Amino acid sequence: MVTGIIIATAVVAGVGIVIGLILGVADLKLHVDVDEKEQAVLEALPGNNCGGCGFPGCSGCAAAIAKGEAAVNQCPVGGAAVAETISKIMGVEAGVSERKVAYVHCQGDCDKAKTQYEYNGVSDCRLEAQAPGGGAKTCSFGCLGGGSCVSVCQFDAIHVVGGVAVVDKEECKACGKCVDICPRHLIDLIPYKATQVVSCKSKDMGKLVNQYCQIGCIACHICEKNCPAGAITVEDNVAHIDQEKCTHCGTCVEKCPKKAIKVL
């Protein structure tokens, strides 16, 4: 019996030694050197893996920064604080990065926009856009209110209020997921400091806009003609504000007859 125990112990020990040798050889063959800078950058990133940086997750962003293929302020979620930390790791200047936030260019809520019918399907804008008439609302450019943008926001920064998605600019990290998922392409990233913004993206003629929305842009050109900074142009029947030129004077808000330009 003692002999059997000794033999069993020897077999187990032998198997362990063989496995250890195999693992050792595999480690030598498959070993990948860890880039210390890349690891440090990865630890500095917030870890949301939102993709807002344009890379597949924080690890992809860290690798690109470490190789010099991406800026130290590449992460929109981390903002200036993370950029400053990474700049010290990389030994470069952080530079100035302008904070941006998402904005939904529509105010056509249940009270102001007309509907064609009552939609009772799945609450998803991408699905509702495939419904008859392109959705329940008469306006074929307005927010569908299905909450697709809400479902992808990791920061609880966007909610549907009165049938229209609204962004909380203080919570928004400008990851851009809501921008990508909106089937109507109503969401843009705008400067955090922006104070005037056109809350409409309808390309219909003014006569039609008047029929289906109380506050839609009718391309009357009044804002364009009265803007002292020349920051507003009307293209495709809707006004656009060049935030780089805008002086935040508020003239466009005051002059707009439809109140389609909003003060943030």
Q: What is the pLDDT of residues 65-97, one digit of tens each?
A: 999 888 899 999 888 889 999 999 998 887 777
Q: Does residue 6 surpass a pLDDT of 90?
A: no
pLDDT for the residue 23 = 66
Compute, in degrees rounded to 10, the torsion defined by CA atoms 86, 174, 248, 210: 170
- Domains of the chain plus CATH, in order, are 36-90 (1.10.15.40), 98-193 (3.30.70.20), 194-264 (3.30.70.20)
> What's this model's pTM, rounded to 2 decimal places?
0.80
Compute, in degrees rounded to 10, the torsion defined by CA atoms 175, 183, 262, 159: -60
Q: What is the pLDDT of residues 194-234, one digit of tens each?
A: 999 999 999 999 999 999 999 999 999 999 999 999 999 99
Q: Does residue 125 surpass a pLDDT of 70?
A: yes
Sign of the Cα torsion 132, 120, 102, 65 reads negative
Q: What is the pLDDT of residues 167-203, one digit of tens each?
A: 999 999 999 999 999 999 999 999 999 999 999 999 9
**Mean pLDDT for the chain overall:** 90
